[in-house]
Chain A
Amino acid sequence: MDMSVIGYAIAAIGASISISFAAYAAVMATARQPEMQPKIFTTFILGAAFVEALGLIAFVLALMK
């Protein structure tokens, strides 16, 4: 195993923490205002997509080198 795997693991830690923060906030917001659910979900997906891209870039780079 080479160092790129460790690099991917670090990126995955960052991405997982950020997505869990976003999910936490989305759940809290939905619980407070259930009628806003579609809009909150869209915003959550948008934020998650931005974060997730970073983790996936690391994954692809780790495999391709």
Chain B
Amino acid sequence: MGPLEELGHHISELLEDLGGMTMFDFGWGSITPFTVYLILTLILVAVIILSVKKRVTLIPKRGPTAAVEAAVDYVRKEIGFGVLGSKELVDKHMPFLFTIFFFILASNLIGLIPGAKAATGTFSVTLTLAIFSFVYFNYHGMKHAGVLHYVKNIAPAGLIPGLNVLVWLIELFSLFLRIVTLSVRLFANMFAGHIIMGVFSILASLFVLPAIHNFSLATLGGATPALGWLILLICIYALELLVAFIQAYVFTLLSAVYLHLATSKH
């Protein structure tokens, strides 16, 4: 049996592993590896941010403090002032956006450690994040314009009476669709990235295995494709490193855009 015939079996095993098996069942819920990584990520983010907060000085230092400061500065400048605009709004909403950004970033980066899982690689976590974002921007939109005014203004003003209701319904639907797109985007990116990396590493190991089992010149020749898969795996790993940052950035950016849309209507 050639290495490629075995692939299907290994991929279904990989999918099962990424689906998250139950470690401990309560009846009303269960603990999966993702739960463990979720808690681990939260602790890690809290420890890093709080320890950096203590060490911040007027003259920048080198090392991890400077790295976190650079990330904070970039998000504040690009997302805060770029989308929200005024300093008053930035100061008001940045704590929420920073929390989202650093949680997603840390969770994505932890998922890139071989053997570890990303907490954002499961749909429940990303859905929860999206719902938090949805509730946050709707709450601030209602607080800004008043509940009745906000609900009425989901449809743009100035439409003829009959069309008004139809547009309002469509806009309401697209408002709730934001939860789905926010969560599915993050989940699908992480899930797809891990599957691609998993498939490439499985392929590399499948081609090498015959050469390890009985070593000869022929099996060594058969193992050469593994080198190609390994190089591809390293390239994909570098791409996933980039995706980890981009997805954290995109989620935060979209939250900020929705927040801006909700609070700037009047």
Contact = CB atoms under 8 A, between A and B. Distances in A.
Given A46-B250, A49-B254, A59 B82 contact: no
Interface in B224-248: 246
Interface stretch (B51-59, B84-92, B142-150, B184-192): B184-192
Contacts, number: 41
Interface residues of B, number: 18
A63 B78 contact: no
Interface residues of A, number: 14
Given A57-B184, A57-B188, A60-B188, A45 B250 contact: yes
B249 interface: yes
A39 interface: yes
A42 B82 contact: yes
Interface string B168-206: 000000000000010011011101100100000000000
Interface of B: 15, 78, 82, 181, 184-185, 187-189, 191-192, 195, 246, 249-250, 253-254, 257
14 contacts: A38-B78, A42-B78, A42-B253, A45-B246, A45-B249, A45-B250, A45-B253, A46-B250, A46-B253, A52-B189, A53-B185, A56-B192, A57-B184, A59-B192
